[in-house]
């Protein structure tokens, strides 16, 4: 009759559940050559009946080890799309609150100007200033990685800082553009101008203020704290107000090419700035300032 056997060596998964018989067998063969010993061990193993419970334990242990190994070397990753959702969840609530306040203020101001029968510059002045502040807010959200001392740690993660920046910029940029497009649509409706033309007038100060933000952000470390950001908001607000206070001739159809040129040039400069910033981050120049 076959005997029920106990576990031999718990650490050795191959012998788990086979027990004393295998162990004794191995001891006996300790001085013979390996090949013959392996052959005899295999033959002996065929006669053994593994203990169900012990074998179950051993298999569970093996599965656990494999699982732990998988966590280390798995090819399973979260999809990039999910990362957008995660970033959306982890963007500070104050960011969305301020963004909401700015959008709400814009709606109220547009309504008030409309009730006062305002002209195009009246609309543009306010929407430009608010657009600039939205840009500052977006930049502040990027700056949080540095001001909270998280940049270094995030740069060492699988999804690193430039990737996080890209996601955040896409999210906050999309929100800004949506609000500004809605604003531009309203203004276009009130002033009987083409939507694209109004968009251009609104987007130029927005792009310029974003350029200022990145410039300020790259050049001055102090820009990453709260006071620096307030100065930045004031500065870009003034810039936007200045742009939107141009004489009426500047808004003539014939000057559209100049607006388009400034807009394209601005986008180009902004992209160059981003490239420069990403290069700095990659080299660790602004991540490790201490």
Partner 1 sequence: MLELTLDSVTKKYGKKTAVNGISCTLTRGVYGLLGANGSGKTTLLRIICGILETTEGAVLYGGGAIRSLGARYRRILGYLPQDFGYYPEFTAKRFLLYLAALKAIPKDEAGKKVEELLGLVDLAAYQNKKIKTFSGGMVRRLGIAQALLNNPEIMVLDEPTAGLDPKERIRFRNIINSLSRERIIILSTHIVSDVEYIADEILLMREGQLLAMGDIGHMLEMARGKVWECIVSPEDTERYQAGFNVSNLRNTEKGVRLRIISDDCPVEGAQPVDPNLEDVYLYCVQLKFPSNLTT
Distance CA 251, CA 122 (A): 13
Q: How many residues does the chain have?
A: 290
Up-side HSE of residue 289: CA atoms within 13 Å toward CB? 15
∠ CA 114-115-120, rounded to 5°: 25
Least separation, in Å, of the C-beta of 175 and partner 1?
20
* Cα atoms found within 13 Å of the Cα of residue 107, Cβ hemisphere only: 9
Candidates 98-106, 202-210, 254-262, 276-284 — which segment interacts with partner 1 by CB under 8 A?
276-284
181, 199 contact by CB (below 8 A): yes
Minimum Å gap between C-beta 12 and partner 1 is 17
- Residue 112 or 283: which CB sits closer to partner 1? 283
Tell me if 154 sits within 8 A of 164, measured CB to CB.
yes
Among 168, 145, 161, CA closest to 217: 145
Query: Looking at beta carbons only, is 71 or 219 nearer to partner 1?
Result: 71
Stretch that binds partner 1, among 38-46, 64-72, 192-200, 264-272 (CB under 8 A): 64-72
Q: Tell me which residue of 155, 239, 157, 231 sits closest to 204, measured CA to CA.
A: 239
Cβ proximity to partner 1, 125 vs 145, nearer residue: 145
Angle at 29 between CA 23 and CA 33, to 5 degrees: 135
Binding mask 128-167 for partner 1 (x = CB under 8 A): ----------------x---xxxxxxxxxxxxx---x---
CA 281/CA 73 separation, integer angstroms = 27
Please report, as residue ranges, which positions from 159 to 218 form the binding site for partner 1 (by CB under 8 A): 159-160, 164
Calpha distance 118→109 (Å, rounded): 11
Pick from 129, 134, 158, 161: nearest CA to 148: 161
Residues near partner 1 (CB under 8 A), total: 33
**Binds partner 1 by CB under 8 A, chosen from 11, 33, 46, 68:** 68
Rounded least distance, CB 273 to partner 1, Å:
20
Nearest approach, Cβ of residue 280 and partner 1 (Å): 10
Q: How far is the CB of 170 from partner 1 (least distance, A)?
A: 17
Would you give the binding string for partner 1 spanning residues 79-118, x where CB under 8 A is met? ---xx--x---x-x--------------------------
Contact between 226 and partner 1 per CB under 8 A: no
**DSSP secondary structure code for residue 3 in this structure:** P
149 or 247: CB nearest partner 1: 149
The CA-to-CA distance between both ends of the chain, in Å, stands at: 75
Give the shortest CB-14-to-partner 1 separation in angstroms: 20
> Among residues 6 and 156, whose Cβ is nearest to partner 1?
156
Closer to partner 1 by Cβ: residue 20 or 64: 64
Binding site for partner 1 (CB under 8 A): 68, 71-73, 76-78, 82-83, 86, 90, 92, 144, 148-160, 164, 282-284, 287-288, 290
């Amino acid at each position: 009759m076959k005997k029920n056997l106990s576990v031999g060596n718990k650490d050795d998964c191959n012998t788990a559940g086979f027990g004393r018989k295998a162990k004794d067998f191995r001891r006996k063969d300790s001085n013979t050559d390996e090949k013959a010993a392996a052959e005899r061990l295999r033959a002996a193993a065929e006669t053994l009946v593994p203990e169900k419970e012990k074998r179950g334990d051993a298999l569970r242990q093996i599965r656990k080890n494999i699982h732990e190994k998988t966590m280390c070397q798995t090819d399973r990753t979260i999809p990039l799309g999910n990362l957008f959702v995660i970033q959306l969840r982890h963007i500070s609530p104050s960011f969305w609150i301020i963004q909401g306040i700015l959008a709400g203020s814009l709606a109220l101001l547009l309504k008030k100007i409309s009730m006062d029968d305002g002209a195009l510059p009246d609309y543009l002045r306010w929407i430009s200033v608010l657009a600039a502040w939205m840009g500052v807010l977006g930049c502040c959200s990027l700056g949080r990685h540095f001001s909270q001392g998280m940049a270094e740690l995030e740069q060492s993660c699988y999804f690193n800082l430039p990737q996080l920046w890209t996601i955040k910029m896409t999210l906050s940029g999309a929100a800004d553009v949506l609000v500004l497009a809605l604003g531009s649509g309203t203004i276009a409706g009130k002033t009987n101008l083409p939507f694209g033309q109004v968009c251009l007038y609104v987007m130029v100060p927005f792009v310029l203020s974003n350029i200022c933000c990145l410039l300020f952000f790259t050049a001055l470390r102090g820009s990453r704290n709260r006071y620096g950001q307030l100065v930045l908001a004031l500065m870009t607000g003034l810039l936007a107000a200045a742009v939107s206070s141009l004489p009426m001739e500047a808004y003539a159809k014939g000057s559209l090419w100049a607006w388009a040129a400034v807009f394209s040039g601005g986008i180009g400069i902004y992209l160059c700035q981003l490239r420069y910033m990403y290069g700095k981050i990659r080299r660790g120049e602004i991540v490790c300032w201490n």
